């Protein structure tokens, strides 16, 4: 473990996140763990926009959104956030719109504070940009497409987190586009986009 790793592991506190457990879970790899936290903060801000108002017409989409929030929060060891999202997901599955509307505001406020705290900690500890790659990993893009085909929401979230952990020399805005459309549940559009990218890659390789 490097000195920087040790400092982050021992000294940094993010309210609502078990930093030490998360850092240990990701193999004491500072670059990977910081990238995952950074991706969570960026992706979750988009999710919040989709959860601020819930109606009978949007309850099904809301269920998908809080399911993703639950999984992502568990992935960074934000257990209270994950539990709040799980409770609302269960209510949405049961069709309990009243419960969702009564408790959703607390979730949005809680998650907003969490994201603010993560961003503040990252700014203090790791102000540098994400690791740089030339382009998005085609294996992750293929995994994303497979998750879309299987309607595997956890798989979509995993792929998005992996893609978001890096900056790219050339992605033509793809990662931001994917993040926004995933938050909106636009799976058909994402599938069409990824299929087109795969066809272009096969043509280039051919």
Give the span between the Cα atoms of 205 and 145, in whole angstroms: 19
Say which residue, 143 or 83, is predicted with more confidence.
83
**pTM (whole model) above 0.85:** no
Residue 156 near residue 182, CB atoms below 8 Å: yes
User: What is the DSSP track for 121-146?
Assistant: HHHHH--SPPPEESS--HHHHHHHHH
Say which residue, 148 or 8, is predicted with more confidence.
148
pLDDT in tens, 19-48: 888 878 877 666 777 778 888 888 787 778
- HSE-CB at 61 with a 13 A cutoff on CA atoms is 19
Q: Where are the domains of the chain?
A: 3-125, 132-205
pLDDT in tens, 86-113: 999 999 999 999 999 999 999 999 999 9
pLDDT in tens, 141-179: 988 998 899 888 888 888 888 888 778 888 888 998 998
Give the span between the Cα atoms of 126 and 12, in whole angstroms: 11
Question: pLDDT exceeding 70 applies to what percent of the chain?
Answer: 88
Give the span between the Cα atoms of 191 and 197, in whole angstroms: 10
Residue 194 near residue 149, CB atoms below 8 Å: no
pLDDT in tens, 120-140: 888 877 655 677 788 888 888
């Amino acid at each position: 473990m490097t000195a920087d790793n040790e400092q982050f592991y021992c000294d940094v506190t993010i309210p609502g996140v078990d930093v030490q457990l998360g850092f240990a879970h990701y193999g004491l790899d500072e670059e990977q763990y910081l990238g995952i936290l950074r991706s969570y903060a960026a992706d979750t801000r988009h999710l919040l926009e989709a959860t601020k108002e819930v109606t009978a017409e949007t309850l099904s989409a809301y269920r998908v959104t809080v399911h993703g929030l639950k999984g992502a929060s568990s992935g960074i060891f934000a257990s209270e956030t994950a539990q709040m999202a799980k409770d609302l997901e269960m209510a949405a599955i049961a069709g309990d719109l009243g419960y969702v509307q009564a408790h959703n505001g607390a979730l949005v406020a809680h998650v907003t504070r969490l994201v603010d705290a993560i961003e503040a900690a990252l700014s203090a500890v790791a102000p540098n940009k994400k690791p740089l790659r030339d382009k998005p990993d085609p294996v992750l893009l293929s995994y994303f497409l497979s998750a879309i085909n299987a309607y595997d929401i956890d798989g979509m979230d995993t792929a998005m987190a992996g893609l978001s952990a890096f900056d790219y020399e050339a992605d033509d805005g793809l990662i931001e586009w994917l993040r926004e459309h995933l938050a909106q549940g636009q799976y058909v559009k994402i599938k069409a986009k990824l299929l087109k990218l795969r066809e272009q890659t096969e043509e280039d390789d051919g």
